[in-house]
Structure 1
Amino acid sequence: MVAAQEAAGLVLAKVILHWPNHVKHVIGTSEYSNREMGDFQVVGPVLAPSLSSNVGLSVPGHAEARSDPAQDSLVDLPSGYPSQICHPFAWTKADFVGEASYVYRLSAADQAELRRAKDDFKAQELDGNLVNQDNFPLPTLGPKLRTLGDDIYNGKGFHVVRGLDPCTYSVEDLAIIRLGVQTYIADQCGRQDHRGNMLADNSSEIKLGHHRHSTSSITFHNEEAGDVISWLTRGTSKTGGRCIVAPVYTIYNILAAHRPDVIRTLTKSDWPIALPRFQCRPLMFYHESKLIMNFSRTPLLGSATHPRPGHLPQLNDRQCEALNLVEAIARALQMEIKTRSGDMHFINNFTILHRREGFVDGASPDEKRHLVRMRLRSSTMGWSIPDSLHQEWEDAFAEKGPKTWHLEPMPGDAFPLRKYTN
């Protein structure tokens, strides 16, 4: 991918990251800068995963070594970690010319096939959570969705399925179609919390005080568990609220080239994570030749909603710097996707960081942001999970344990969100 870009003479933008006080993006002459293509808007700079000499990227050295930045290159990467990773996961915005690269638009024939499958499933009088490829047959659309699933697990790491109109379906029928689509992408559904809630609905009571129900922007993060995170957009806000994604592999390549000491910090087992249970573990893993990142700021730093207990260890300066540098690079690389009502988003929770911009709901019901999130895993393509993350995946996907399906938003006490930050 990188070789093809360079061979095509791609003009790369310049990025200067002034650290640690603020981040300033200096946009170069890239033809991709500040261009809008439908619902696909390229923002920030364009970076090459290889970080060749053609890219003007200045990433300051560690506080203790800034007087001699050359010392940073003397720090080795952790044992077994590659100097660079050449993989489709290591994408840049320049790889996606138009939304067709990552949005699958359901055709009229696709939607007719979905309606037939939904009607056939309901005729079997099965519970909606029992949807699978056998009882929800999609002979034409199914192979296309499997291809998307493979690309999510082994390619770019994200896709949007677009074209459903939530207003034309009952809540139950929309949920059945959503479950039918995603069973071809990742067939196992995971719990959101210890009560077994399978759906996380952002329109539950605002008094919950959780950022999921706020209108503020959220920093880049992963979910606590789930190979793939999916969300169905039942409604969009008046302004803002776009989905914003950034590639973990490209962030890694930048750090490996310029700040290997930060990768050493991220891979140490001394990060004191407070929620949903206290543990010390790495934030980054290279496990069975796959790079995995799993973190969120709130369990590490606390927030107004989730205050950090005073008796727990605080982050040291190196850890704070690592978090901030990951956020800065992710924002430099970020790609924004304007969400439409009916969109089904799927992102690889190992290789894609995501965040949400702030938004404003309107007065009318059709101007209110309404998302329903699920955690997924493929029984055939699922990745091996590092030991430090095994408990979270076991809690989510184990056969034993409660599974509760609330198709409509529930009162606040139905969701123990103070223990689950994402």
Structure 2
Amino acid sequence: MSVLLAEPTLASPMASGLSSAGLDAPRLPEGFPAQLQSQLAWTGSSMSEASNFILKLSDAEIAEINAALEFFKTLGDDGDAIKPSNFPLPTLGLKLADLSRDIHEGQGVAVIRGLNPASFPVEDLTMIYLGVSSYIAEQRGRQDKRGNMLGFHIVADNSTKQAAEHHRHSTKEITFHNEEAGDVVGWLTRSTAAAGGKCIVASAYTIYNFLAATRPDLIRTLARSDWPFALPKFHCRPVIFHEDGKLIMNFGRAALLGNDAHPRPSHLPTLTSQQKEALDAIESIAKATQLEIQTQAGDMHFINNLVVLHRREGFVNGEASSEKRHLVRMRLRSTEHGWSIPSALEQEWNKAFGEKGGKHWHLEPMPASFFPLARQPN
């Protein structure tokens, strides 16, 4: 599939809620292209029409997954050891290799659909997730400094005000963002909400093409290294990069503006009016060109975290456990297809994928105060 945006698809900057000021800004930052010609530049309508980002598993492919699971279990290895060579998918694996290329160089979005999570114990379901995702990108990254690998189970939690306001545990809609690290981010949906909770994605390439054609001044703002990020600790860097001929976008509004769960310390610098306008422009264009995915239980979503923004709509859980939204996230990187990471982002990538640090696989959500007990000497 090739979805190229030769012209901006929004009627005008004013129609999208953007200011018309700066339309005659003279030029883009040095080295940044006037337009990104790539399959990664798509709109929600073009993706929906193509609908080739969803791989629907056949009965034979599900049987192949089951056989791979049983084979791996005979080895007696820890689940973290799963890789294509010990989780053999001779037929499906070829399709997954194509999906990996699509995620890295094609549309940047893929959904694998057809598994029934209720058919598997949670341990087996997790091993399937690890096995299938290893064909997409074989390196798995830590999610935090504690070494959690299954990325803070994404479930509603109103036990405290802070938890209820955190985007990971809130039932409210959240804004577009990237994860702090990971070339690819994957989610396994164990169960969906009774209502709402769609996964919504948008192309950073499409956003860039529109701004480059109408507001190059905002591209210059986004590419400057003076953005004052406060998470995980204070540091300044750009929001967008042009690395080896590829655009990379990485930001989160909470890290730049703060929110109820993460109040911004008063001593830190705040965003300029131009920076706030640039963030609002990203959100506005993303919403105008977004792709909404009605998630189903058992879905495995994979996105190119370097160029695909994501958010979710608000949701309402039901009483039954099958009507309570529960996602399990992983951060991934492919040795074969991985992109060059800008130096300003390398520290977070090293924390996630470097050798230093432990790894903990919690199959169920853990309380915020949980920490593994230190191993005592004999």
Give yes or no for contact 1:205–1:411 (8 Å, CA) kept in 2.
no
Of 363, 370, 377 in structure 2, the residue corresponding to residue 414 of structure 1 is 370
C-alpha distance after superposition, 1:380-401 (max 9, x if no partner): 1111100100000000000221
Distance 1:49 1:404, change over 3 A: same
5 Å matches for 1:125-164? 125-164=76-115
> For residue 59 of structure 1, what is the amino acid of its counterpart?
P
Give the match for residue 12 of structure 2. Answer: 58
Match of 2:154 in 1: 202
State the alpha-carbon separation in 2 of the partners of residues 308 and 212 from structure 1.
18
1:374 alignment partner, SS class: strand
SS of residue paired to 2:64 = helix
Give the residue type in structure 2 aligned to 1:108.
D
Alignment of 1:3-402 (within 5 A): 49-51=5-7, 57-60=11-14, 66=20, 72-98=23-49, 100-200=51-151, 201-203=153-155, 206-207=158-159, 209=163, 210-402=166-358
SS at match of 2:236: strand
SS at match of 2:248: strand
Supply the distance in 1 between the matched residues of 2:223 and 2:47 (Cα, whole angstroms).
30
CA deviation profile, 1:324-371 (whole Å, cap 9, x unmatched): 011001000011000000000000001100001000001111111000
* SS of structure 1 residue aligned to 2:286: helix
How much does 1:74 deviate?
3.6
Query: In the alignment, what sits opposite 1:30?
Result: none
Structure 1 residue 411, shift from structure 2 partner: 1.6
Q: Deviations over 1:78-113 (max 9, x none)?
A: 000000011000112343355741110110000100
Note closer, same or farther for the CA distance 1:99–1:77 as it changes in structure 2 (3 Å cut): closer
* Residues 204/196 of structure 1: CA separation in 2 closer, same or farther (3 Å cut): farther
The sequence identity of aligned pairs, in percent, is: 55
Counterpart Cα distance in 2 of 1:242 and 1:82: 33
TM-score after normalising by structure 1: 0.83
Aligned to 2:332, what secondary structure does the other structure show?
strand
Other structure's SS at 2:292 match: strand
Structure showing greater relative contact order (alpha-carbon pairs closer than 8 Å, 6 or more residues apart): 2
Q: Which moved more, 1:203-212 or 1:359-368?
A: 203-212
SS in 1 for 2:168: helix
Query: 1:97–1:243: structure 2 CA closer, same or farther, 3 Å change rule?
Result: closer
SS at match of 2:115: coil
Looking at structure 2, the residues matched to 280 and 136 of structure 1 have their Cα atoms a distance apart, in angstroms, of 42
Q: Distance in 2 between matches of 1:225 and 1:296?
A: 12
- What is the CA–CA distance in structure 2 between the aligned matches of 1:191 and 1:148, rounded to whole Å? 23
- One-letter amino acid of the counterpart of residue 203, structure 1: V
Unaligned 5+ runs, structure 2: 373-378
Question: Distance in 2 between the 1:282 and 1:188 partners?
Answer: 26
Once the 2 structures are TM-superposed, how far is the Cα of residue 413 of structure 1 from its aligned partner?
Answer: 1.4
Q: Give the SS at the match of 2:85.
A: coil
Count how many residue pairs are aligned between Structure 1 and Structure 2.
365
Where 1:363 maps in the other structure, the secondary structure is coil
Question: What is the aligned-residue RMSD (CA, Å)?
Answer: 2.0
1:160-191: CA deviations, max 9, x gaps?
Answer: 00001010000000011110000000000000
Gaps of 5+ in 1: 6-47, 417-422
Q: Secondary structure at the match of 2:256?
A: helix
Query: Given that residues 204 and 411 in structure 1 are in contact (C-alpha distance below 8 angstroms), is that contact kept between their aligned partners in structure 2?
Result: no
Q: Does the 8 A contact of 2:45 with 2:291 survive in 1?
A: no
CA separation in 2, counterparts of 1:334 and 1:94? 8
CA shift, 1:206, in A, is 4.1
- Cα distance in 2 for partners of 1:251, 1:98 equals 20
What is the CA-CA distance between 1:414 and the residue it aligns to?
Answer: 3.1
Q: Matches of 1:303 and 1:343 in 2, distance apart?
A: 30
Shift of 1:146: 0.6
Contact kept? 1:205, 1:412, Cα under 8 Å? no
d(CA) in 2 for partners of 1:283, 1:413: 32
For 1:149, what is the secondary structure of its paired residue?
Answer: helix
Question: How many angstroms apart in 1 are the aligned matches of 2:270 and 2:26?
Answer: 25
